[in-house]
Amino acid sequence: MPDEPYRLLGHVAGAEVGVQPTLDGQDVIVQHGEVGHRLACLLAPGPADAQVFRRGDDLYWRIPHSRQVDRLLTELTDLFISIRYAHPTLVQLELQLDEAAP
């Protein structure tokens, strides 16, 4: 498992975010930069828990995906969903009907 390659999951405001398998689970990998730094500081339980490393020409944060980090990810996901649903004018599900349908 640890010899599996880095897996890109997506981007947050331009910062690359992915995961890298380890012997005991996985690390969350976040591209270094202003947004990446904020995300790494939010996810890392303590300042010593996030490490900076070089991958190609770019710097990245490595955050061990611990039980504490996972709990925080779940709380943030639930909070972000609640914030979206609470917006009074955003439609959460748009229904598009085919004009040819009866």
pLDDT per residue as tens, the chain (102 positions): 455 799 999 999 999 999 999 999 999 999 999 999 999 999 997 766 789 999 999 999 999 999 999 999 999 999 999 998 898 888 766 667 777 655
Is residue 95 one of the residues assigned to a domain? no
> What pLDDT, on the 0 to 100 scale, is given for residue 49?
72
Three state DSSP letters for 17-64: EEEEEECCEEEEEEECCHHHHHHHHHHCCCCCCCEEEEECCEEEEEEE
CB proximity list for 20: less than 8 A, separation 6 or greater? 5, 6, 7, 26, 27, 29, 62
> What pLDDT, on the 0 to 100 scale, is given for residue 102?
57
Can you give the residue range of the structural domain that contains 30?
Answer: 7-86
Indicate the number of domains in the chain: 1
Is residue 75 one of the residues assigned to a domain? yes
Residue 43, token pair as written in the block = 């996810």
> What pLDDT, on the 0 to 100 scale, is given for residue 92?
66
> What pLDDT, on the 0 to 100 scale, is given for residue 64?
95
Is residue 100 one of the residues assigned to a domain? no
Residue 80, token pair as written in the block = 């972000």
Is residue 97 one of the residues assigned to a domain? no
Strands of the sheet containing 25-31, edge to edge, are 7-12, 15-22, 25-31, 58-64, 51-55
Is residue 27 one of the residues assigned to a domain? yes
- Residue 70's domain is classified under what CATH number? 3.30.200
Please state, in angstroms and as integers, the Cα–Cα distance from residue 45 to each residue in 31, 39, 54, 66, following that order.
18, 12, 22, 9
The pTM of the full predicted model, rounded to 2 decimals, is 0.80
